[in-house]
Structure 1
Amino acid sequence: MIFNNYPPLSFLFVGFIGHLSGDIIASGRAIGLFSQMTCALLVFCCVLRMGGTKTGAAAAGLLAALYSTVSFHDYVAINDPQWLANMVMLAGLTVLLPTPSPRRVICAALLVVMGGFIKHNLLALPLSISLWLAWRDRQAFLIWCATGAVAVAGGFLLSTTLYGPAFLVDLLHHPRTYSPQGLARGLGKLVELTGLLIAAYLIWSYPASSPQQRSARIFATLFLSIAFATGLFQRLGAGVTYNAHFETLLAACLATGLVLSRPSRVAFIALSLSVIPLLVLAPFQMAREVRSIRTLQTNAVQWQEVITRIRATPGPVACETLALCYWAGKEETVDFFNLTQAILAQKEAYPFAKIVQEHGFRLVQIDHVTRRQDELSPVTGRDPLISALDAAGYTPAFNGPNGIVIFAPPTQ
């Protein structure tokens, strides 16, 4: 009942740092924060290499840092490889620019493929580079395709050799349900980026005075348009959240940086459109942070109490928040979200119900008893795992912070 639909590369990076530090989760969070900030720096570098000014490039990098912190706050310093993959792919774009020489193309292709083996849902940048090179330089395009194909094939061959055929099955046939509710949530999040998106498309409001400007404008438009479409498409899948829009944010910042590199009335409008949403959103986010800091010590004590109780419980424990079992020294037993998706998507029988019927888990930690629509069975209207707990007689033993509930089997 453990699922892994992520490529292997991020686990090697996080695992190496984690074994040095002693905490895998904290190391993953540190890598995530470093990658997020490095993405802002790489946006600065890319705007410069695309012909932008230092002022425009600095503004683009700052916008990337601010929007990723304010609009995508839940992904700041999270133990997730999305920002790491974006960082590696943006490094590939930085290497490719300004002129795609054969050496640059080869290095860029290897970095982009490496990013894909960190997180495989980053589609916009590889696609936009491919289309841009096909338009600009056919020889470079062929080198790009050949290098990428060899690198992808080599990566799949090596991964399959190391991890077996389960690597391909888990990566390419991961069970998941799809619904339009996710698309609606994606559009709702992109509302916060509306001003930035309009500012980015203002790149077409003035004529390109040089081949470099024309090339940069076409690439920026390709990147932004493809990222917007692929991000929304990915949101159809259950469990796909704001990280699907990171490429949209980075592409919009790139294009806006180019707009701001040409002092004019258009640049002033673009700056206003980009900054005003931040001025509106930032105070609310800062107030949220102040509240979090004030309650930090209390919350830490409450979480530690939960971890201590889990650690003191003999026998297997199932944690929906896997970090709790990790810090309590318990083995990972159930991936709640992906198991639910597998049951709903494939209608297969998994041993969870049988285990809880036999009271095999001494405790079961649930994040929220109230579930979202895409986590409910269309037949019963309930979460299949919580239904199994109820049928086996599990009852709430105690509650924890953030609404979590700890279930225990009936006493013998």
Structure 2
Amino acid sequence: MSGSSQLLPEKSEHLFDRWTVLVLLAAGVGALGLIAVRLYEATIVGPLNYNEGWNAYHALRLQQTGSPYPPPGGLVVNNYTPLWFSLLSAAGILTDNLIFAGRFIATMGLWTMFALAAAIGHALRGSAGALAAFVAVLFVFASEANLYIGIADPQFVAQAAGAFALLLCVRARSATDVQYLAAMAVAVLAGFLKHNLAALPFALLVAALFERRATFLRVLLIAGVALAAGYLLSALVGGLAWPHQLLSARVYTLARLFRNGVPFVTANALGLFLAAVGLYTLPRGHVRRVLAIYLVTAVPLALFFVGGDGVAVNIFFDSMVIMAISASLIAGARGSIRRPGVAGTSAPQIPPWTGALTLAAFFAVIGFPQFLETGLRLRHPEEFDQRARAFQDDVRFLREQPGSAICYQPALCYLAGKPLVYDPFNADQALLTGAMSADQVRNILQRENVQVIHASGTTPDSRGVPAPLAAEVASEFSVIRENENGAFYVRRR
């Protein structure tokens, strides 16, 4: 098998027919509206996600101690890679609020990913492909990842790095091209920002198997060098033993896999089918091979991991990127797309109206639920401000309380200046998996002298109340403050 003379498809520089343009404009405007609503929510002080305060605490730990990782054996766990916390703590130079710093970084990563999607589309289909890919990725994320937009988390930064690797791949003339090798290096390093990005480097490596042995070995060598570089760079922040931090206790069930995986597959069945058709319109070669392997790897990998407790929609982001870009290829595949210099080779011909019809169906299927949900939220816009004011009052109240505190939303304790003594989600996972006993948890918390607990409700089994302390909370704590954000339990004095 030869890697010689693999050239990119000739870019189609014509514009779409008017119906395709109208579909793309409508979808683009709608997606921007959804994102605008979500980014407005990100301007409030309250937490958008559990991870926001959790990330801020570990970045603060890095600033104060030189390591983002807590001592072993406690009730606080950090199972993220260290490079993200370096980036977040560096942003702390500009603001003391690491939650807002994280939101800004993540939002920049989001828009960078959108821009890179347009560049990928341009490399594959010219100006028409750039518009189609940009709108497709924009719409998919605005619809299916809406509640993840704006939160302080490394996922979008890592996805932007992955999109850059994909751009290098599609611009490469062959698997022997230096851009292909650079794509492998960047794809591997992206995994050191968020460790769930394995599909693209796997696709790049497997695709190289179809080339000469020397080509595959060269790609494998680059992957190994990038792995070593990423590990050593991370070790400068997290220490040489940092990888063991990723192996935190996690409940995994098949019931959760089906509960979260089946809705994704059913909601995106049309999109996945259109992605396969879009890939078929590409000429044979390393580009189509990598994109196809990327697609068939990303979806099963996400479905496997979604069975873990606490695994959110971000596990599907790789699947969403490649699905949207591949499906958008239909809109740009008008006529015959030939490879220059290779006689008699062309992609299948696509009727002009196909792009408009298929994209309209694609956008309608995935977008309707989110437009409905956002519309219902906007019926009462005053609730945004009410929640923000209530949260600010909660922060002031907790700041005035003596002693340690437990918060089911770590952002509350972080903004109130309380140390993180209990990581509700990860500590519960340790209990449920048997990694820690109830007695161990109880003994540690008693040493911490917890005086305040902020939980999701007013019963001892509410989220945020450590299960081993439920009896103690019922007998020694009183609920003295309650609102839409939760309830405060304060130890009786």
TM-score (norm 2): 0.74
1:128-170 alpha-carbon deviations (Å, 9 max, x no partner): 1111222245444322221221221233244346433551221
Distance in structure 1 (CA, Å) of the matches to 2:356 and 2:256: 35
Report the CA distance shift for 1:125/1:288 in structure 2 as closer, same or farther (over 3 A).
Answer: farther
State the partner residue of 1:147: 222
User: 1-side partners of 2:380 and 2:96: how far apart?
Assistant: 26
Alignment of 1:98-137 (within 5 A): 98-99=171-172, 100-136=175-211
Q: 2-side partners of 1:167 and 1:253: how far apart?
A: 34
Q: Distance in 2 between matches of 1:204 and 1:156?
A: 34
Confirm whether residue 360 of structure 1 aligns to residue 449 of structure 2. Answer: yes
**CA displacement, residues 360-399 of structure 1 (integer Å, 9 cap, x when unaligned):** 111112235799xxx99xxxxx998234233353343322
Match of 2:420 in 1: 332
What is aligned with 1:185? 260
Distance 1:153 1:369 in 2: 50
Q: Which structure's residues are more often helix, by fraction?
A: 1
Q: What residue identity is the alignment partner of 1:188?
A: P
CA distance in 2, matches of 1:161, 1:40: 31
- Once residues 332 and 357 of structure 1 are traced to their aligned partners in structure 2, the CA distance between those partners, rounded to angstroms, is 15
Q: CA deviation at 1:346?
A: 3.1
Conservation of the 8 A alpha-carbon contact between 2:268 and 2:366: no
Query: What RMSD, in angstroms, separates the aligned Cα atoms of the two structures?
Result: 2.7
Is the 1:57–1:257 contact (alpha carbons within 8 Å) kept by the matching residues of 2? Answer: no
Amino acid in the other structure paired with 1:276:
A
Distance in 2 (CA, whole Å) between partners of 1:19 and 1:320 is: 28
Q: Could you tell which deviates more after superposition, 91-100 or 58-67?
A: 91-100
Of structures 1 and 2, the larger Rg is shown by 2
Alignment-derived partner of residue 379 in structure 1: none
- Does residue 1:400 correspond to 2:483, yes or no? yes
Worse-superposed segment, 10-19 or 387-396: 387-396
User: Alpha-carbon deviations, 1:167-210, whole Å to 9, x = none?
Assistant: 12212x2111101232121321343323322211223666x6x4
Judging changes above 3 Å, is the alpha-carbon distance between structure 1 residues 38 and 325 closer, same or farther for their aligned structure 2 residues?
Answer: same
Match of 2:117 in 1: 43
Q: In the alignment, is the contact (CA less than 8 A) between 1:303 and 1:400 conserved in 2?
A: no
Aligned length: 396
Say whether 1:10 aligns with 2:84: yes
CA distance in 2, matches of 1:364, 1:352: 15
Task: Return the TM-score normalized by structure 1.
Answer: 0.87
Shifted more, 389-398 versus 145-154: the winner is: 389-398
Pick which of 229-238 and 102-111 moved more: 102-111
Q: Which moved more, 1:384-393 or 1:37-46?
A: 384-393
> Aligned match of 1:239 in 272, 297, 310?
310
- Assess, with a 3 A threshold, how the Cα gap between structure 1 residues 92 and 204 changes in structure 2: closer, same or farther: closer
| Greater RCO, 1 or 2 (C-alpha within 8 Å, sep 6+) | 2
Confirm or deny that 1:95 pairs with 2:168: yes
The structure 1 residue matched to 2:325, chosen from 246, 254, 267, is 254
2:149 aligned partner: 76
Distance in 1 between residues matched to 2:388 and 2:141, nearest whole Å: 26
Change (3 A) 1:140 1:31: farther
Structure 1 SS opposite 2:454: strand
Aligned-residue offset at 1:110: 2.9
